[in-house]
Amino acid sequence: MNHRDLHFNASSVSAILLVGCASFLFCGCDSVFIGGCTLSTPVPKVDSVTPSQIDSQNLPVTITVIGSDFQTWSKIQWGSTSLPTTFVDSRHLSVLLTPEILNSVTINNGTGSIFVFTAGQTTNTNFSCADGGSSSTFFIFIN
């Protein structure tokens, strides 16, 4: 067989890419490169949270987090509590804040802390390098 006899379909190209990615170069915990493939999930970034003030007597209310690098599995966190998050797109997440959720989260001096957590995808536990992570924290004021 010579090079003119080679034929590729989508399955064989995928297999070649996977085989090509089987040899890797470990570059520290900031990145793992597998061939030309990078196995990392970006840390989410939060630009704003709306509303920034909530009247606890007027629930439910939708909280929208605006930022970047959100994934379909990103979660809005209120302190240590993961909220039932709706992925809108890579720049928007939302949660419907109900009285039940508000009663289950920590409020300190009328303030709640909100951030986005995205779990990493790297499954190679030999290097124990996490990816993904938590955004900066924003505060919501509760009346």
Tell me the backbone φ, ψ of residue 18, rounded to 5 degrees.
-65, -45
Q: Are 97 and 50 in contact (CB under 8 A)?
A: no
**pTM for this entry:** 0.69
Q: Beta 138-142 vs 53-54: how paired, if at all?
A: parallel
Using a 10 angstrom Cβ sphere, with 0-12 exposed, 13-18 middle and 19 or more buried, the burial of residue 96 is middle
Is 19's pLDDT higher than 90? no
Residue 102 pLDDT: 95
pLDDT tens string 23-49: 344 444 444 444 444 567 889 999 999
pLDDT tens string 93-106: 999 999 999 999 99
